[in-house]
Amino acid sequence: MATMVSYLKKQPPGRLITLGFAAVILIGSGLLMLPAAIKPGAEVAYIDALFTSTSAVCVTGLISIDVYDHFTVFGQAVVAGLIQIGGLGVTSVGVGLILAAGRRVGIKGRLLVKEALNVDSFKGIVRLVKAVLLMTLCFEGAGAVLSFLVFIQDYPPLRALWISVFHSIAAFNNSGFDILGGLRNLIPYQTDVLLNLTTCGLIIFGGLGFLVMLDMGRCHFSFRRLTLHSKVVISTTIALLTVGTLLLKATEDMSWMGCFFHSVSARTAGFSTYPMGELTNAGLFTLTVLMFIGASPGSTGGGIKTTTFFALMQDVRSVFTKQRPGAFHRTISAESMGKAPVIALLSTLVVFVSTFLLCVLEPECTFIQLVFEVVSAFGTVGLSTGITPGLSVLSKTILILTMFAGRVGAFTLLSIWIDRPQSGIRYSEESITIG
């Protein structure tokens, strides 16, 4: 035991965070296999328990079996807990427990939080964790109250309360799980304005990132006083939501509220009020692009992130205008501009490989269905055309790995296993022809 602790202390933060997520997934899958977690008469194979646990910890929402139909209240509570841990991050939850026990957070713990939340310095790390936990509690509490006003009309009080709490946790953490049963998601509430807007609000704020929300509070919601990061996140989010809504309205027979809801949900949440299997290829492609871009850094969502997409667009603009990449009267650092295409390329490779493997294993599915499924898994979204339950064990395993890569990040996964020191040798420079 002492040897294991000593080994873990020597590991870099990125590797520890990755191992932490993997450990929680395995523990969660074990809990979901307990007799107390499975409803009488229901059958749950371990691959489905592992798939559900991975989807919950990676705040995805893809399901191979319906949560309500197969799991008891205890099992559903396990799923909700896994979603909460996955959304906040293993390190933030761990530090929160340390603070609740009245103990001091050491340097290693602060370093892990700094890495997990993409913070630049150690300054105010403990205060940041406290603010994140309090913010989460406030948003999820408000979401549960508003959702309860809707669900109490269709369910008994205790059942409505539990559905409301579960839904609020899932929505704020950008995970498209539901416990309504029958693989219905939110289709029965397609026209309910309050639930649609409440869900959209939770998804948007959860996807902005905790640092952005704290910055907004500090600046009293004055856009001019925000940091460059917050301005980029907010402006890109608004642009993507607007374009997504308009494209869905142009390609699908949906109400404006339905188009807006799915434009929001595709940004890594995974709730749906319309059957995805009935959408046109154009609509599915629109959602696929939104899912691939995803939410923002330091948030509960996945994808390549809005800032990465923004940096790529600025890089394209700089090539044509011959100006340095920047926005809002600020120049974007060379480190950020160099990291963006690497993240995009690695993410694209993960999607390509996973899609190819599924095409080989699931020849009866169409290409757009498989691409949609893979990008949904990588972007930790959870939207599906309905093919997930019928996939083979090997296909589900591929999606499990894809979800894990999407939650941890392809860049992080690659960097933590390649620990090669920089060489002091520099070679002469020579250009190559590009394009």
Query: Mean pLDDT score of the chain, rounded to an integer?
Result: 84
**Range name among 125-129, 183-187, 255-259, 295-299 with the lowest pLDDT average:** 125-129
**Residue 34 in this model has a pLDDT that exceeds 80:** yes
The pLDDT > 90 percentage for the chain reads 48
**Per-residue pLDDT, 59:** 85
What is the arithmetic mean of pLDDT over 241-265? 94
**Per-residue pLDDT, 12:** 60
Higher pLDDT, 376 or 20: 376
pTM of the model: 0.87
What is the arithmetic mean of pLDDT over 338-365? 92
**What Cα–Cα distance (Å) separates residue 371 from each residue in 58, 199, 365, 376?**
19, 26, 10, 8
Confidence of residue 82 (pLDDT cuts 50, 70, 90): very high
**Range name among 83-87, 220-224, 293-297 with the lowest pLDDT average:** 220-224
Structure tokens at 386: 């309905």
What is the arithmetic mean of pLDDT over 132-136? 85
152-183 as b/e, with b when 16 or more CB fall inside 10 Å?
A: eeebeeeebbbbbbbbbbbbbbbbbbbbbeeb
**Per-residue pLDDT, 340:** 87
Phi then psi dihedrals of residue 156, to 5 deg: -60, 155
**Residue 126 in this model has a pLDDT that exceeds 80:** no
**Residue 241 in this model has a pLDDT that exceeds 80:** yes
Residue whose pair of structure tokens reads 């899912």 in the numeric block: 291
Confidence of residue 18 (pLDDT cuts 50, 70, 90): confident
**Per-residue pLDDT, 195:** 95
**Per-residue pLDDT, 80:** 94
Largest CA distance in the chain: 74
Q: What is the DSSP letter of 423?
A: P
Between helices 13-32 and 107-116, what is the axis angle to 10°? 80
Per-residue pLDDT of 151-191, as tens digits, reads 999 999 999 999 999 999 999 988 889 999 888 889 999 99
**Residue 420 in this model has a pLDDT that exceeds 90:** no
Q: What is the DSSP letter of 326?
A: E
Rg (alpha carbons) of the chain, rounded to whole number: 21
Spell out the domain ranges in the chain: 11-414
Phi then psi dihedrals of residue 58, to 5 deg: -85, 10
Distance in angstroms (rounded) separating the CA atoms of residues 20 and 155:
37
Per-residue pLDDT of 84-112, as tens digits, reads 888 876 556 655 555 555 566 566 556 66
The answer to whether 148 touches 160, Cβ cutoff 8 Å, is yes
Confidence of residue 334 (pLDDT cuts 50, 70, 90): confident
**Residue 1 in this model has a pLDDT that exceeds 60:** no
